Structure 1
Amino acid sequence: MPTPAATHRDRIETCLNGQTPDQVPVALWRHFPVDDQTPEGLAAAVIQFQNTYDFDLIKVTPASSFCVTDWGARDEWRGNPEGTREYTRQPIRFPEDWAKIRPLDPRKGSLNDQITCLRLLVAEYHHATPILQTVFSPLSQAKNLLGKQNLVAFLREFPQALHAGLEVITQTTLQFIEEAAKTGIDGIFYAVQYAQYGLLSEEEFRTFGKFYDLQVLEAVRSLWANMLHLHGEHVMFDAVQDYPLQIINWHDRSTPPTLAIAKNKFPGVVCGGLRQWDSMVLGTPRQVLEEARMAISETQGQRFILGTGCVLPITAPHGNILAARRSVLKNSTGSLGAQV
């Protein structure tokens, strides 16, 4: 009898265990502007995307405002090609404003909407495909409450006020993760945006970022497929390589370290290899295929998930997305990309 085909869950589990899967896992994710304003709309968009491309994991990407809306943040869709929304109101203007925010109940409001979305997705895929919920670090959430142009100034001028806010954000994030885990998700996609040398010193990041990150990540140890997204350029990879997650993702094609070097630093799985703009948007299917082949060769196809360094722009052509998906397939002679 033929060997049953591996499920996406099987493939990711094998990869995370350091073994060689039947084929290199591949996953791309994107924003769904307009659709992301209701839990049913976001779930339907994610399902359509996944059913079209059949990726090995589903990273759920709500608007970044989902976790700060109930503290008074507001945003709107203005056509950003990455699918992100623009903030139109950020409620923290003065240091004393931090004292006004209170922990949110994840069973109410916008947080509960996201829980509803997760329930719909888990019911759709029945645990055959891993589902990861996006969780923004407390410092990233603080930025969305303050405005990115104000965060560093607050951090240096009003550190105690910012710490008070970060404590409330962390408490709310922990409560949200607890409720999200009850839906049956497999992990979180933990977005860290300020571990960049162009923004903070290492000491500032440890004090205002890592201190709270480790509290959040302690809460997801029971989940088996957690991914760290290290956003931006000139990232502090060494400062986060000990984070207790299974997968790490960063803009590996535009900022150090390389995939090969990262595998020597980080004990888990590395995710990347494809340029989100130059290849996935502006390139051709053949260029996507060649870039995927290079990444697979660099990592020997082990402890590696093929993906982009950040969200797939919503302008990426269907043919390029399909090329990324098919780049890991093998024909009878074992060559890659036979169907592209």
Structure 2
Amino acid sequence: MMKTLHSLKSDRLTHRERLESVLSNQLPDRIPVALWRHFPVDDQDPGRLAAATAAYQQQFDFDLIKVTPGSSFSVRDWGVTDEWRGDPEGTRDYVGHPIQHPEEWTQLQVLDPHRGTLGDQLECLKLLVSEFSPRTPILQTIFNPLSHAKHLVGRDMLLVHMRRYPDAVKKGLETITQTTLDFIQAARELGIDGLFYAVQHAQYDLLSEQEFQEFSRPFDLEILRNAGPFWLNMLHLHGEDVMFDQVADYPVQVINWHDRSTPPDLAGGLKRFPGVVCGGLRRIESMVLGTPAEIQAEALDAIRQTGGKRFILGTGCVVPTTAPFGNLMAARRIVEGENQ
């Protein structure tokens, strides 16, 4: 009979203890592993999102829970509209952007974190903390202010407004930043362990380094410095041709990026970032289209690159909802030393 994940001998440490060991630059009892995904449709209700997230965690017993609401949770109360159209990643399509004119950036109001969709997300976190804390760390997804701005005005128009009306956009970013800080404080009071902080514009095909330094970095640092009381903050550097060196000094414990498709690789990342790196698995080619044997080979290569220290096995972004069960389980079991 197949052993359950909970009965494997290497589960002698709690997930929290294992990650604390990794953060201390020690070799843990085994390599930590975490894969996260969207839960479309369920992510529109806090109870259903909590239940879906809990069921996923109970099935795979990952070393951390990255809570993944629809990205619109933090901007919908400013008037953003979106729809579920079946994207295999589980993401929703944005269909309505409330900012049409540059002066509207200055009219944004700070949102109450306890109301609307922000309040719904706090309810989801409360349910998950009550079930999994403190044994398993819980990270809330937070999109950085420039990502929020993209949803408010649309990707193409954001660049136009940044370049033509920079002062108005910065005023809007200040309001978004304060709203984010208020939400993080409310989430901290519930007992979560950290943030999964998503930066989407640190890509050379989107912005210049100067634009990133002006419109993203100051607001990112304000938020992350205020997130200092958390012990497990993970920076997600989204996309390809990324500005890794522009964020390598961000005050976070872990950095996650698409290491299999954009430089640096994991070994290079460890040389340029003082904390823990998370990655090693291709989320499409391996997790969706590959085989358990290919996933095992990729994981072993990632362990070789890092020496098993300062490392969490994962993918560069969300695992698509179409990833086969066997591939997900292969990634989970390889850290137990099991052959596929």
TM-score (norm 2): 0.96
Matched, 1:279 2:308: no
Partner residue, 1:247: 254
Partner residue, 1:9: 16
Matched, 1:258 2:265: yes
Aligned counterpart in structure 2 of residue 59 of structure 1, from 56, 66, 76: 66
Q: Distance in 2 between matches of 1:274 and 1:155?
A: 35
Q: Distance in 1 between matches of 2:189 and 2:279?
A: 29
Partner residue, 1:167: 174
SS at match of 1:176: helix
**Any stretches of 5+ residues in structure 2 without a counterpart?**
1-8
Percent of paired sites with the same residue: 60
Partner residue, 1:157: 164
Matched, 1:25 2:35: no
1:243 Cα deviation after fit: 0.2
Matches within 5 A, 1:248-327: 248-327=255-334
Partner residue, 1:333: none
SS at match of 1:204: helix
Q: Distance in 1 between matches of 2:28 and 2:10?
A: 14
Aligned counterpart in structure 1 of residue 155 of structure 2, from 148, 151, 162: 148
SS at match of 2:196: strand
Deviations 1:205-226 (A, max 9, x none): 0110001000000111000000
Matched, 1:34 2:53: no
SS at match of 1:102: coil
Matches within 5 A, 1:184-195: 184-195=191-202
Matched, 1:110 2:81: no
RMSD: 1.1
SS at match of 2:230: coil
1:98 Cα deviation after fit: 1.2
Partner residue, 2:209: 202
Letter in 1 for 2:88: P
1:97 Cα deviation after fit: 1.4
Q: Distance in 2 between matches of 1:322 and 1:29?
A: 13
1:107 Cα deviation after fit: 1.1
Q: Distance in 2 between matches of 1:241 and 1:33?
A: 32
Equivalenced residues, count: 332
1:185 Cα deviation after fit: 0.4
Letter in 2 for 1:30: R
SS at match of 1:75: strand
1:88 Cα deviation after fit: 1.3
Q: Distance in 2 between matches of 1:139 and 1:304?
A: 28
Q: Distance in 2 between matches of 1:100 and 1:164?
A: 9
1:4 Cα deviation after fit: 8.1
Partner residue, 1:47: 54
Runs of 4+ deviating beyond 6 Å: none
Q: Distance in 2 between matches of 1:83 and 1:14?
A: 33
1:146 Cα deviation after fit: 0.8
Deviations 1:15-53 (A, max 9, x none): 011111000000000000000001001000000100000
* Paired residues of 2:41 and 2:84 also in contact (CA < 8 A): yes
SS at match of 1:135: strand
Matches within 5 A, 1:90-105: 90-105=97-112
Q: Distance in 2 between matches of 1:147 and 1:139?
A: 11
Q: Distance in 2 between matches of 1:289 and 1:206?
A: 39
Q: Distance in 1 between matches of 2:76 and 2:300?
A: 41
Letter in 1 for 2:12: A
SS at match of 1:256: coil
1:150 Cα deviation after fit: 1.4
Partner residue, 2:336: 329
1:100 Cα deviation after fit: 2.3
1:149 Cα deviation after fit: 1.9
Q: Distance in 1 between matches of 2:11 and 2:199?
A: 38
